[in-house]
Every structure is written in structure tokens, then in C-alpha cells.
Structure 1
Amino acid sequence: MIMGLRSLFGKSYATITPEEAERQLASGAILIDVRSAREFANGHAPAARNIPLEQIAGRAHELPNDAPIVTICHSGARSAIAARSLAKHGHTVSSLRGGTTAWIAAGLPTSKKSTSKK
């Protein structure tokens, strides 16, 4: 039954805490911030790469298939949409629950240094 639902709705993704995201990043995962360029410039996780949500589907091919991906946004809603999209493209992906707000609340670092690629 579950396999039938997965084939109907696409590959699933996990929802993780900031601490789990930090562990995944330390093990080689890629952090994709799906907020707008303006939001990203106001502060983001230092390792994050900015690919706004509206560009995710068209740019999924830029991301490696052999590394896990963690998506992050402001509160977790957009990152869940991005995670679903990337999973449909065959990526192993997790969405950070609570987004950048939860990242900051967990005491994890932020940066204003640009790491976005156009």
C-alpha cells in the first residue's frame, strides 16, 4: 500500500530539526535556502546556497544526486515544497522544520556572506 502511494505521489522526504540538519551538513549534505535573494541577503546559515523556490524545479539538475540535500526557508513551508520537488527529481532530501527561525532559535550561526549562484 505505502509503495503504491509513493509511486502515485513521488519520492518522499524527511522533515528534520536544526540539530539534525547540522549533523547532516557535517556529513556532507548540501543546504539549499529557497527564500528570495533579498531574504537570503538579510541572513542565512553559512553553508547555504540560495536557489529561490520558484527556480527549484528548473535548477534541480544543478544539484548532485549523490549527496543528501537539506532545504530551508523562513518557517518551513517553502522548504517543504522544495523538498517535495527535489525528491520527485530523484534527490535524497530533507526539509528543515521551522526554517531559519528554528535555526536561529537553536543557536546555530548565520551569515550575510553571499553563497548564491545564478
Structure 2
Amino acid sequence: MKKPSIKAPRMTDWLLVTLVLLVIIYRVAPEQLPVSLYKLSLVTMAGCVGYWIDRSAFPYARPDAFMCKPFSVGGPYVPDKAVDPSQQLVFAASMLRRAIIIAAAMLAASLGA
């Protein structure tokens, strides 16, 4: 019988790097730790705002609208995430549009702070 493998969540290595860097900041210049956390919260909040700007600006061009079947995360079945072949270019454009809007919101918040 095959043993189930337990894998760490995605990007666990980057989380560890971040924690190590936070410890280094705390050891070298502890007064900068609140500034770092403030900037992190701004960038995170800007990412959420950019996502919701995309959803409200393009309500009928969401990337999941171009999937073959609707799917639910955590449902009782494995979702079918295939993109309809005739909609692949539109799907890619909608994903790229969303990424650009989120990146622009994050950049605007980063430069303005």
C-alpha cells in the first residue's frame, strides 16, 4: 500500500525566507519593524483593492466565465478546469488584464506611501 505523502504548502520556503529577514531586521534595526509591517499591509491591501476593481469594472469578463464547466473549490468532486478551446485567447487576455490591474494598484500604493 502506498504511503500518503505530506507536502508543505506552496511557497513555504519563501515564508521561511521572509521570517528570517524579519528576524534580521529586528536584530539590526528594531525600530524599522513597524515600518516594514506597515508597508506589507499597504501592499496586501492594494492587491485586494485591485482585485475588486477588476471584478467591478469587468463583471461580465471574469476569467472563470471562459471555463468549460463551472467549478467549486472544496466541492465533492474534482473540478474540471479546462478552458473552452474557442475561448483560450479571451481567457488569457482576461487573466492578463486582472494581473495588470492588481499590479498597478499595488505599485500605486507602494509609490504613494
Length-normalised TM-score, structure 2: 0.24
Higher strand share: 1
Higher helix share: 2
Length-normalised TM-score, structure 1: 0.24
